[in-house]
Amino acid sequence: MFHLSNKSGLYNILQEVLSGGRLEDSGLLFLLEEKDGKAVQKIASAADTLNLSINFGNVSYVVNRNINFTNICALNCRFCGYKRTKNSKDAFLLDYDKILEKISEGKKQIGIDEICVTGGINPELKSNPDYYFNLIRTVRNNFPDLHIHAFSPQEIYELAKATGKSYAGVIEKLVDCGLNSIPGTAAEILAEETRRKICPEKINTAVWVEIIKTAHRLRVKTSATVLFGHIESNKDLAYHLSLIRQIQDETGGFTEFIALPFISPKTSLGRLVDKAAMRDDNNVLKFYAVLRLYLDNFKNIQTSWPKIGVPAALKSLECGVNDFGGTLMEENITKSAGGKFGEYLSEGEIINLIKQTGKIPVRRDTVYNYLNINAGI
Ligand code: SF4
C-alpha cells in the first residue's frame, strides 16, 4: 500500500511503477490530485522513462483522412459545437459519391491507409439504417485495401435500435460489409453522474461498455478515449481510467488510449469551465503522464495535436506519449467547437516534427502494425 499522506507517497508510487508494479486506484487519484510543479516534473519524467522502456523512442503516426458524413444530429451534447439541425444553412449529409471523392483525394494526395468515419445522430437515417451498411460496402468495393475505422458505440446503438438487431448482429453485419475497426468515442466521461450532465441523451456507461466488449469479443479492435478538462472531478477521471483498464485486462481489444482535452469555448459547457484551467498545458501534459503510468496494459498513448496544438503535442512526447495521431486532412468537430490548431499536417511535417524531439518517426496502420521505421529518411 502507498502512504499517500506524506511526501514519500510520490516517491513510493513512482518507484513501484518503474520497477514493474501496477499502480492502484488510490495511487492514481494521488497522482491526479498532485499540483506541485516539481512533483509534476517527476511524474512526467517517470512516464518518459517508462515509455522509453516500452516503445524505445519510436513515435508512430497514421496517414489517414477523417470523414464526417453528417453534422445533423438529434442529440444535444453540451460540449459539442459541431451538431446542426436539419434546417441549418450549413447542415449536410454526404452521399456516397462525395465520400468516394474524398477518399480518392486522400489516396492521390497523401496515400491514406485509413479513413475514420463518424457523424451526428441524424434522425433521417433512423428510417434508413442501410445508409450505414451500404456506406461501408461501397467504400470497401472501391478501396479493397483501405482500413475502415467507423461508427462509434453511439452509432452502433442507434443502428441496433433502427434494425432490431443485437449489438453483435450490427457489428457482424458491418464487418461483413467491410468494416475493420471501431472508434472508442462517445465515451466522454464514464462516471455516470457527470456523464448525464454533459451528454444527457447519450448511451449510458453500461451500454457503452457492453458495445465495446461485444466488439472485442467479435475480434473487432477499438480505441479508448476520454474527454477531460471540463466539469469532471479527479474521482470521475480515476473511475473512467479504472474501468478502461479493467476492460483491457478482460479483452485486450483496445489499440490505444486517446485523451481528448475539452477545448470548446463556443459550447454551452465551455461557459461553465474555468478558461485558464482549460488552456493550461501543464495540466494536460501531467494527465498524459499519468495515463502512461496507470494504463500498464496499453502500449500506445496518443496525443491530440488538433486540440492542444503542435508545441504541446511535441511536449507530450516527453511525458509518456508514443503516438502522434493522424494527418486527418479534415477535422470538423474540434474546429466547430472553437479549436484553432488546424486540421491537416502532412506526413513530411509530422516526420520533421517528431525528429525535432530526437524520437524516431514510424508510420503505422490503424491497429499499430509498424509500416516503416524511420519514415521519410
Ligand atoms: S457530440 Fe455527436 S452526438 Fe453529441 S451532439 Fe455532437 S454530433 Fe451529436
Domains identified in the chain, total number: 1
Q: Is 286 a member of any domain?
A: yes
Ligand 1 centroid to Cα of residue 349, in Å, is: 31
Could you tell me if the CB of 73 is within 6 A of ligand 1?
Answer: yes
Q: How far is the CA of 184 from the centre of ligand 1 (A)?
A: 14
82 pocket-lining for ligand 1 (C-beta < 6 Å):
yes
pTM above 0.75, yes or no: yes
Given a contact cutoff of 8 angstroms between Cβ atoms, the answer to whether 171 and 155 are in contact is no
- Concatenating the DSSP letter of every residue in 224-289 gives EEEEESSS--HHHHHHHHHHHHHHHHHH--EEEEEEEE---TTSTTGGGS-HHHHH-HHHHHHHHH
Q: How far is the CA of 122 from the centre of ligand 1 (A)?
A: 10
108 assigned to some structural domain: yes
In the block, cell 516539481 appears at 38
Ligand 1 near 171 CB (within 6 A): no
Mutation choice for ligand 1 from 71, 76, 83, 86, CB with most ligand atoms inside 8 A: 83
In angstroms, what is the span from residue 83 Cα to ligand 1's centroid?
6
Distance 120 CA to ligand 1 centre (A): 5
Cβ neighbours of 357 (radius 10 Å): 16
**360-364/370-373 β-pairing:** antiparallel
* Residue-number span of the structural domain to which 299 is assigned: 60-373
Atom of ligand 1 at shortest range from CA of 118:
2
Residue 68 lies in a domain: yes
Quote the pLDDT of residue 78.
95
The grid coordinates listed for 325 are: 495521431
| Residue 339 confidence (pLDDT) | 53
**CA 248 from centroid of its chain's CA atoms:** 15
Q: pLDDT 10s per residue in the chain (377 long)?
A: 444 444 678 999 999 999 999 999 999 999 999 999 999 999 999 999 999 999 999 999 999 999 999 999 999 999 999 999 999 999 999 999 999 999 999 999 999 999 999 999 999 999 999 999 999 999 999 999 999 999 999 999 999 999 999 999 999 999 999 999 999 999 999 999 999 999 999 999 999 999 999 999 999 999 999 999 999 999 999 999 999 999 999 999 999 999 999 977 778 898 888 766 666 788 899 999 999 999 999 999 999 988 889 999 999 999 999 999 988 776 555 555 555 555 678 899 999 999 999 999 999 999 999 997 655 44
C-alpha to C-alpha distance for 236 and 62, rounded to whole angstroms: 30
CA of 152 to the centre of ligand 1 (A): 11
CATH number of the domain residue 289 falls in: 3.20.20.70
Is residue 153 domain-resident? yes
Residue 224 in domain: yes
Instruction: Let me know if residue 107 belongs to a domain.
Output: yes
Residue 335 confidence (pLDDT): 54
pLDDT given for residue 2 in this prediction: 44
Q: Is residue 240 in contact with ligand 1, taking CB distance under 6 Å?
A: no
Amino acid at position 132, single letter = Y
Does 1 reside within a domain? no
Instruction: Say if residues 344 and 338 touch (Cβ distance below 8 Å).
Output: no
The answer as to whether 312 is a domain residue is yes
Please classify residue 110 by burial: count the beta carbons closer than 10 Å to its beta carbon, then call 0-12 exposed, 13-18 middle and 19+ buried: middle
Rounded CA separation 157/182 (Å): 13
The per-residue pLDDT for 7 is 60
For residue 276, how far is the Cα from the chain centroid?
23
Name the residue of 84, 85, 121 whose CB sits within 8 Å of the most ligand 1 atoms, as the mutation to test its pocket. Answer: 121
